[in-house]
Amino acid sequence: MNPDSRSFTYSQRRNFDPPQSSPRRIVLTGGGSAGHVSVNLALIPVLQQRGWDVDYIGSDNGIEKKLIAELPDVSYHAIATGKLRRYFSLQNFTDPFRVLKGVGQSRRLIRQLKPDVVFSKGGFVSVPVVFGAWLNRVPALIHESDYSPGLANRLALPFASALCTTFPETAASVNAGRAGRNVNAKNKNGKGKAVQVGSVVRPSITAGDTARGFARLGFDGGKPVLLAAGGSLGSQALNGNLRRNLSALLERFDVVHLCGRSGLDPRLEGRDGYRQFEFLNEELPDVLAAAGIVFSRAGSNAIFEFLALRRPMLLCPLGRSQSRGDQILNADSFVRAGYAESIDEESWSDEEFLRKLDLLLAQRETYAARMEAAGEGNSLELLLRQIEETVSR
């Protein structure tokens, strides 16, 4: 066979053989709290339905491992992490070396996995992963749920292709360069990196059954149910304020208390009208369906889930002495919109607490109507579109 014949035969194979397409692959990251995992939990089943292979990079001992590692067809990879603290700690001197180790591990993992894109929900574990993606020239998107970007996302933003936000004010602030000093908020074309997609709520959250919820809790429906949520890591202050007022609350409500890690009080087990859990997984949608009003921290993922369920909220945001004030901004936004009331933890009043819960209970139909009127677009689909567009670019 002469060279021309070989060339012609190869050309025929190239043009007429069926193309060999491989599944697209995405690496997800985010952790430190349940709020830094919830959007990923919403994304994973939809991505898998659309043919994506899914890998997850997180810490070895964070809550993200517990929530993700047992999901079917998701490969979990643990890396070294270091917490980004705003207060003095001796670990501030050692954790930078753990972060550098995590960057090296992420770089090797991403080079090995060869993903089409990396998606980060934030938290301190995400910074080495986004940087590792940048070193491998893999595009990365990051997601910010709160009104103001967190420290981890501000550090990751210069190495990301885009930032997806929940609040429109956040996108405007980032694109205007107000996200913080030395933050690159523009892409190579000079356009702002931030785009608002809205709140991403797990579809399963809205699929609960009220009757199953009452049965799970052992409540008969004779009283409205107050759901108290202290966050996945547990808030000692919120839990303590609730329990100090428990006798007065049980005159008005049946109470289900999600008290977070190590937050259970064995002295209260079996008390009539009170149920306590560290957290709930499969049962959570049914319990939420049974709840009438909510007392909660003001983490963005949680409050947007309550908004999707049309549950009036009394929000107790984490104070500025313990945070950057992001939950205060979240709560203020919901109060202005007429979805919630708020109470200040640092100037707490038991009388105000009970009075505002009574107000929410008396006017819960008004609050729910405002939430219904606001409506919610298909934010999950918008986020998936951003992922697809990032890959295509």
Specify the pLDDT at position 20. Answer: 40
Residues β-bridged to residue 186: 192
C-alpha 369/C-alpha 20 separation (Å) is 52
Is-contact 54 73, C-beta < 8 A? yes
Residue 261 pLDDT level (bands cut at 50, 70, 90):
confident
Q: What residues contact residue 24 under an 8 Å CB cut-off, 6+ apart?
A: 51, 52, 53, 116, 391
Instruction: Determine the 3-state secondary structure of 16 from DSSP.
Output: helix
Burial class (CB in 10 A: 0-12, 13-18, 19+), 167: buried
The domain that contains 319 carries what CATH number? Answer: 3.40.50.2000
Nearest to 362 by CA among 270, 253, 286, 273: 253
Lowest-confidence segment of 13-17, 69-73, 165-169, 179-183 by average pLDDT: 13-17
User: Are both 235 and 87 inside the same structural domain?
Assistant: no
191: in domain = yes
Answer whether residue 218 shows pLDDT above 80: yes
Q: Are residues 179 and 35 in the same domain?
A: yes
Domain count for the chain: 2
CA distances from 10 to 5, 15, 19, 72, 307 (A): 9, 9, 14, 41, 60
The pLDDT assigned to 90 comes to 58
Does one domain contain both 301 and 283?
yes
- Judge if 356 and 342 occupy the same domain: yes
At 378, the pLDDT band (50, 70, 90 cuts) reads confident
Ramachandran assignment for 44, one of left (phi > 0), alpha (psi -120 to 50 degrees), beta (any other): alpha
Residue that the structure tokens 């190579």 belong to: 188
Q: Are residues 142 and 108 in the same domain?
A: yes
Whether 264 maps to a domain, the answer reads: yes
Give me 350's structure tokens.
Answer: 């038991």
Residues in Cβ contact with 259 at an 8 Å cutoff, skipping those fewer than 6 apart = 228, 230, 234, 239, 265, 276, 277, 278
Question: 168 or 270: whose pLDDT is higher?
Answer: 270
84 and 59, same domain (yes or no): yes
Residues 210 and 327 in one domain: yes
Give 3-state DSSP helix, strand, coil % of the chain, rounded to 5: 45, 15, 40
- For 86-103, the pLDDT digits (tens) are 555 656 666 778 889 999
pLDDT top residue among 37 and 187: 37
Q: How far lies 239's CA from each of 231, 361, 371, in Å?
A: 10, 20, 27
Length of the chain: 393
User: In whole angstroms, what is the distance from residue 61 CA to residue 67 CA?
Assistant: 11
Asked whether residue 2 is domain-assigned, the answer is no
pLDDT at position 179: 59
Give pLDDT, residue 1: 40
Residue pair 254/237 in contact by the 8 Å Cβ criterion: no
Whether residue 363 lies inside any domain: the answer is: yes
Tell me, yes or no, whether 174 lies in a domain: yes
Q: What value does the mean pLDDT of the chain take?
A: 86
DSSP secondary structure letter of residue 334: H
How far apart are alpha carbons 4 and 9 in whole angstroms? 9
Q: In terms of residue numbers, what domain contains 59? A: 25-201+377-392
Residue 146 pLDDT exceeds 90? no
pLDDT reading at 243 higher than 50: yes
Sheet holding 194-196, edge to edge: 74-78, 53-58, 25-29, 117-120, 140-144, 162-165, 194-196
- pLDDT band (50, 70, 90) for residue 15: very low
Task: Give the model's confidence band at 318: pLDDT under 50 very low, under 70 low, under 90 confident, else very high.
Answer: confident
Residues 234 and 274 in one domain: yes
Assess whether 102 and 173 both reside in one domain: yes
Q: Indicate if 154 and 101 belong to the same structural domain.
A: yes
pLDDT score at 74: 96
263-315 pLDDT, tens per residue? 899 999 989 999 999 888 889 999 999 999 999 999 888 899 999 999 999 99
In a domain, 318, yes or no: yes
- pLDDT value of position 118: 98
Together in a domain, 357 and 244: yes
196 and 60 housed in the same domain = yes
41 part of a folded domain: yes
Q: What is the CA radius of gyration of the chain?
A: 23
- Would you place residue 325 in the very low, low, confident or very high pLDDT band (cuts 50, 70, 90)? confident
> Within a domain: residue 15?
no
| pLDDT value for 21 | 54
